[in-house]
Amino acid sequence: MPHIAMVLTPGFQFLALGVQAAFELANIVRDEEYYTLSMVSIAGGPVVSSSGFAVPTTPLAQMGQVDTLLLLAGLVPPPRQDEDTLERLRAITRQSRRVAGLCTGAFLLGQMGLLDGRRATTHWSYARHMRELFPDVRVEEDRIFINEGSVWTSAGLTAGLDLAVALIEKDLGREVASAVARRLVMHHRRAGGQSQHSELLELAPSSDRIQKALIFARSHLAHPLTVEELAEVAALSPRQFARAFRAETGQTPAKAVEQIRLEAARLMIEETRHPMDQIARESGFVDLRRMREAFMRHYGQPPQTLRRLARSA
């Protein structure tokens, strides 16, 4: 029965506690208590979050066998911990199967020396700071989560849920992980290599009609996705749709569709071994030439170069 210990540090971000729901739901899906969970800290007792709420914790020294450690910190990187604290964390980590730093919890792993020579991610806004503090760490700020052997790191806030679902998939398989994601009402399961920046989020339309059209586009990339087709989904005339789309997103529908196609194609390039012509078809570029031209415009590199970089990383 794997035990998950969530290690809280003063000023931790309360939202990070939500990852426990993934393991709770895995138990429900399995109809058994497969995972057990606890909230712990170095000294025990109440630990105050960044929003002022206190959570009772068990002292780390009283923990028995721990399968997985989840390190939680705040919306800003945690200060340097004293050596005694770091050694206690190292000691229990050595006895555990795996350890994960959620969001800025990755800075604690860096302080422990567990990220040296490894790839890691954190909240995108602190990636440069992480590089400066830990020059031996290969920081990849444009990732949802990264798994390097027994050490995991995730991007900010809700990316912790993506990491938790990935841990469950490692333990219990894709079917259980997918069932957990559905119960969490996750729009889709994000792979670790996916960018922290979503084109749908960047476009950020304010009306339900334009949002509906964009979601349709993301789910039907093989369609032509003309203005007429998207306008029909939004229940607007093509002229009304084009005018409303530009007003809400600052872009034309054609430009936005190309960005969504590029995001999907790049994820397939980095995360799969599909041939390039297949990726071009599935992402809606029709052929490799058109996809290559779009990549050169947007990324300044052809898709083959991005695949080589992903594989070397």
Q: pLDDT by residue (tens digit) across 36-67?
A: 999 999 999 999 999 999 999 999 889 888 99
Cα-trace Rg, the chain: 22
The whole-number pLDDT of residue 200 equals: 59
Q: How confident is the model at residue 143 (pLDDT cuts 50, 70, 90)?
A: confident
Averaged pLDDT for residues 180-194: 70
Within this chain, do residues 91 and 224 fall inside the same structural domain, yes or no?
no
| Positions marked catalytic | 103
Asked if residue 233 is part of any domain, the answer here is: yes
The whole-number pLDDT of residue 1 equals: 86
The whole-number pLDDT of residue 308 equals: 86
Let me know: does 160 contact 18? Beta carbons within 8 Å.
Answer: yes
Within this chain, do residues 12 and 147 fall inside the same structural domain, yes or no?
yes
Within this chain, do residues 205 and 154 fall inside the same structural domain, yes or no?
no
Asked if residue 189 is part of any domain, the answer here is: no
pLDDT tens for 81-122 read 999 999 999 999 999 999 999 999 999 999 999 999 999 999
How many structural domains are present in the chain?
A: 2
Q: How confident is the model at residue 174 (pLDDT cuts 50, 70, 90)?
A: confident
The whole-number pLDDT of residue 195 equals: 52
Within this chain, do residues 152 and 222 fall inside the same structural domain, yes or no?
no
CATH code of residue 165: 3.40.50.880
pLDDT tens for 232-290 read 999 999 999 999 999 999 899 999 999 999 988 988 898 788 999 999 999 999 899 99
- Say whether pLDDT at 192 is over 60: no
pLDDT tens for 207-216 read 889 989 998 9
Q: How confident is the model at residue 157 (pLDDT cuts 50, 70, 90)?
A: confident
Q: How confident is the model at residue 189 (pLDDT cuts 50, 70, 90)?
A: low
The whole-number pLDDT of residue 22 equals: 96
Averaged pLDDT for residues 209-227: 91
Within this chain, do residues 151 and 250 fall inside the same structural domain, yes or no?
no
Q: How confident is the model at residue 197 (pLDDT cuts 50, 70, 90)?
A: low
Within this chain, do residues 107 and 209 fall inside the same structural domain, yes or no?
no
CATH code of residue 285: 1.10.10.60
Asked if residue 107 is part of any domain, the answer here is: yes
How many angstroms separate the CA atoms of 194 and 186, rounded?
Answer: 15
- Say whether pLDDT at 165 is over 90: yes
Asked if residue 116 is part of any domain, the answer here is: yes
Residue bearing the bigger pLDDT, 144 or 229: 229
Provide the whole-model pTM.
Answer: 0.69
Asked if residue 234 is part of any domain, the answer here is: yes
Averaged pLDDT for residues 70-74: 95
Given 123, 154, 183, which residue is the final one in a domain?
A: 183
Provide the residue range defining the domain that includes 167.
3-183
The whole-number pLDDT of residue 199 equals: 61
Given 151, 183, 215, which residue is the final one in a domain?
A: 183
Residues with Cβ < 8 Å from 209, sequence gap 6 or more? 234, 235, 236, 244
- Say whether pLDDT at 201 is over 80: no
Amino acid type, 111: Q
The whole-number pLDDT of residue 148 equals: 94
Q: How confident is the model at residue 144 (pLDDT cuts 50, 70, 90)?
A: confident
pLDDT tens for 287-313 read 999 999 999 998 888 999 988 877 775
The whole-number pLDDT of residue 306 equals: 87
Given 152, 183, 214, which residue is the final one in a domain?
A: 183
Within this chain, do residues 131 and 209 fall inside the same structural domain, yes or no?
no
